[in-house]
Amino acid sequence: MSIRSVAEPITRGFCSGWNKVGFVKRNPDTRTRKELLQTIDAYAQKNETVKNLSKEIKSLDDKSMGTIADLLELNRNKALLTSTVAQVEKAYTQNINNHLIKDVVAASKENPSGIKFIDSIINNTDALTSKAALASLPQKYILNRSIAPQMDATAEVMPDIAKEALDGKFFNPYELTAQKDFINYLDAFVNPENKPDKIKSIFSEVCEVCDRFKENIPIDVIEYLRSSAPMTQIRENLKAAEKVIKELGEKAKNFNIVDFLIKKY
């Protein structure tokens, strides 16, 4: 009797060796279609959901198939450090099998912004943070075309969101505080009331001005995103705000820059 060996999946190294917790910048996925097909076949041998959806998954474009391969790679190794981490791992596995893979297949045709959003999370955060964020994602985002513009804009600034929420924060495996902060950021940014140009402007314009000064100037992200002030007005006020901050000196740490930016003078 001959035993057919199944090739191993071609992975991107998310869970191999020592991995930084926090913001990461992953290299682009360079797998060929042949390698992606081999990868899906390999996962199908051990995962019933992938096995049942194998034909559909392998009919997708390379980008969507690569996203599914990434999701499965994240699920391959589990970091069971604490009961809190174990809960995240369990929720992520359940989501993979119950909704996530199926929804990515559907999103490839119905809402590509959902896939772009998932990719931005995976490519800018560590494995545990990615799993925490994706554990309850499908019904909230992936197939919701009404928030596609907000997802696209948030995906573009995901490196900045990840840095703000995760970098320099103490990793607490009992509370996952930084991971919860990251998820809260996503909820604040991906909101149908937000204007995409405001989402993009938070880090490239508002934070860019504040970071020029040594004072820690607080920025109420939610108030800024929810405001009705147009970007033309905000950009004019931002020029004036820079002068005000400079004049305030140390007192700038109490300056409400968002209130200043959204007010019509």
- Kindly state whether residues 128 and 205 are assigned to the same domain: no
- Kindly state whether residues 79 and 139 are assigned to the same domain: yes
Q: How many domains is the chain built from?
A: 2
- Kindly state whether residues 58 and 143 are assigned to the same domain: yes
Q: Which of 12-21, 86-95, 207-216 has the highest mean pLDDT?
A: 86-95
- Kindly state whether residues 139 and 48 are assigned to the same domain: yes
- Kindly state whether residues 37 and 131 are assigned to the same domain: yes
Q: Lowest mean pLDDT: which of 16-20, 62-66, 162-166, 241-245?
A: 16-20
Q: What is the 3-state secondary structure (H, E, C) of 1-63?
A: CCCCCCCCCCCCCCCCCCCCCCECCCCCCCCCHHHHHHHHHHHHCCCHHHHHHHHHHCCCCHH
- Are the C-beta atoms of residues 31 and 10 closer than 8 Å to each other? yes
Q: Report the first-to-last Cα separation within the chain, whole angstroms.
A: 84
- Are the C-beta atoms of residues 202 and 224 closer than 8 Å to each other? yes
Helix (H, G, I), strand (E, B) or coil at 125: strand
- Kindly state whether residues 105 and 206 are assigned to the same domain: no
Q: Answer yes or no: is 101 within a domain.
A: yes
Q: Answer yes or no: is 68 within a domain.
A: yes
Q: Answer yes or no: is 25 within a domain.
A: no
- Kindly state whether residues 221 and 128 are assigned to the same domain: no
pLDDT band at 138 (very low <50, low <70, confident <90, very high): low
- Kindly state whether residues 56 and 134 are assigned to the same domain: yes
CB-based burial label for 262 (10 Å; 0-12, 13-18, 19+): middle
What is residue 260's predicted lDDT score, i.e. its pLDDT? Answer: 95
Structural domain boundaries, residue 241? 196-262
Record the pTM: 0.91
- Kindly state whether residues 131 and 53 are assigned to the same domain: yes
What is residue 4's predicted lDDT score, i.e. its pLDDT? Answer: 44
Q: Answer yes or no: is 171 within a domain.
A: no
pLDDT band at 6 (very low <50, low <70, confident <90, very high): low
Q: Answer yes or no: is 58 within a domain.
A: yes
Q: Which of 3-12, 99-108, 139-148 has the highest mean pLDDT?
A: 99-108
> What is the C-alpha separation between 144 and 73, in angstroms, rounded?
25
Sign of the Cα torsion 204, 210, 212, 216 reads: negative
